[in-house]
């Protein structure tokens, strides 16, 4: 007798229409053994260096590991795509992304878009679709969108555009000082600033599917090991002799590098230097909060 698990996919015997011919059948023995490549704990130092190199031309540098995770579209994690945007002084970069929105950080330079001016250290939320970024001086921006999520569902961003949100660097520093003067408890995951907007205040996200936090680590301290079901894309902003431990492996940091923490993997962050470490983290946490599957747990 044949075991169900060994049956190949089944097709209808005598379909009467093209719609019926498209039907496929699995069973409870072979339907749930889908094998997908794991998400690597990647880093993109070479991509960052190319984008930040003096004289780099206006353009986009993708942090793409789609081949490693078996995606037919560019992706840093299955649901998010990070990139560095380079804009030379006096030039305009015309973005046209299939994303709901782009979470961004200005690594260097200054410019304007969507009716406001931005500068080094600012955090931005830009709408998906067509956006023109004009640079007054040579600029590099780090941008993360949910392009892979829309590509997976074969969706387009649609005519509805998110309103841009601007978090100037000076206001970010003020907010960090505010929470730095507060106390915390054992259930608090370090000292981090979480970014949201008036439209998503109740959800505490920056887009419906993505969350953004600015995490900090004091000198000579570590963030204790933890895990969560959201994938994390991290941008290193500041720190000396810092590293992460991901699934038992040490991952050194370098300035302005992009790092990937796979979903569900145990990890911790460590500052061995004499200055405060700062790092931006974008997660597909909005989806997990909505599905009630975030699964954040301290491991020590």
Task: Provide DSSP, 63-111.
Answer: E--HHHHT-SS--SBTTBEEEEEEE-TT-EEEEEEEEEEEEEEEEEEEE
Least confident range from 110-114, 153-157, 196-200, 239-243: namely 153-157
Domain 45-167 has CATH 2.60.120.10: yes
- Looking at the predicted structure, is the pLDDT value of residue 157 above 70? no
CA dist., res. 64 & res. 180, Å (int): 35
SS3 for 278?
Answer: strand
DSSP state of 199: G
| Architecture category of domain 170-298 in CATH | Sandwich (2.60)
Q: If pLDDT is split at 50, 70 and 90, which confidence band does 72 have?
A: very high
Q: Domain extents for the chain?
A: 45-167, 170-298
- Looking at the predicted structure, is the pLDDT value of residue 119 above 90? yes
Higher pLDDT, 58 or 160: 58
Closest listed residue to residue 85, CA positions, set 63, 117, 116, 114: 63
CA dist., res. 280 & res. 269, Å (int): 13
Q: If pLDDT is split at 50, 70 and 90, which confidence band does 188 have?
A: low
- Looking at the predicted structure, is the pLDDT value of residue 66 above 70? yes
Question: Do 170-298 and 45-167 have the same topology in CATH?
Answer: yes
Average pLDDT over residues 185-204: 84
Q: If pLDDT is split at 50, 70 and 90, which confidence band does 182 have?
A: confident
pLDDT digits (tens, 9 = 90+) for 218-258: 999 998 899 999 999 999 999 999 999 999 999 999 999 99
Chain position carrying tokens 């009630």: 292
Torsion of CA 229, 262, 264, 289, to 10 degrees: -10
Structure tokens at 164: 């841009």
For 176, phi and psi rounded to 5 degrees? Answer: -65, -40
Average pLDDT over residues 78-90: 98
Least confident range from 70-84, 154-168, 214-228: namely 154-168
CA dist., res. 52 & res. 203, Å (int): 34
What are the C-alpha distances in Å from 114 to residues 43, 105, 161, 204, 223?
A: 31, 16, 12, 23, 37
- At 280, which helix (H) or strand (E)? strand 277-283
Contact present, 141 and 97 (Cβ < 8 Å) = no
For residue 100, is it left (φ>0), alpha (ψ between -120 and 50) or beta? alpha
Q: If pLDDT is split at 50, 70 and 90, which confidence band does 46 have?
A: very high
Over the chain, what is the mean pLDDT? 92
The rounded radius of gyration (Å) of the Cα atoms in the chain is 21
- Looking at the predicted structure, is the pLDDT value of residue 214 above 90? yes
Average pLDDT over residues 130-156: 94
Average pLDDT over residues 40-66: 97
């Amino acid at each position: 007798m044949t075991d169900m698990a060994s049956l190949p996919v089944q097709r209808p015997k005598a379909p009467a229409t093209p719609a019926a011919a498209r039907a496929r059948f699995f069973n409870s023995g072979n339907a749930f053994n889908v094998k997908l490549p794991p998400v690597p704990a990647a880093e993109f130092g070479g991509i960052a260096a190319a984008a930040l190199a003096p004289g780099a031309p206006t353009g986009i540098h993708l942090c793409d590991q789609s081949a490693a995770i078996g995606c037919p579209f560019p992706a840093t994690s299955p649901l998010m795509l990070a990139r560095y945007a380079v804009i030379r002084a006096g030039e305009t970069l015309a973005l046209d992304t299939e994303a709901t929105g782009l979470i961004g950080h200005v690594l260097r330079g200054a410019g304007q878009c969507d009716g406001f001016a931005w500068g080094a250290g600012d955090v931005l939320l830009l709408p998906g679709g067509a956006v023109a970024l004009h640079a007054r001086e040579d600029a590099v921006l780090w941008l993360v969108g949910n392009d892979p999520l829309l590509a997976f569902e074969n969706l387009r961003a649609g005519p509805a555009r998110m309103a841009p949100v601007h978090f100037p660097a000076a206001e970010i520093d003020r907010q960090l000082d505010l929470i730095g003067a507060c106390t915390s408890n054992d259930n608090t995951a370090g000292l981090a600033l979480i970014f949201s907007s008036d439209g998503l205040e109740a959800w505490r996200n920056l887009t419906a599917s993505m969350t953004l936090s600015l995490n900090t680590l004091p000198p000579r301290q570590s963030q204790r090991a933890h895990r969560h079901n959201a994938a994390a894309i991290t941008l290193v902003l500041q720190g000396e002799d810092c590293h992460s431990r991901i699934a038992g492996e040490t991952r050194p940091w370098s300035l302005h590098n992009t790092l990937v923490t796979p979903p569900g993997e145990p990890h911790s962050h460590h500052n061995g230097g004499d200055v405060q470490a700062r790092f931006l983290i974008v997660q597909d946490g909005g989806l997990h909060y909505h599905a009630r599957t975030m699964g954040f747990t301290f491991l020590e």
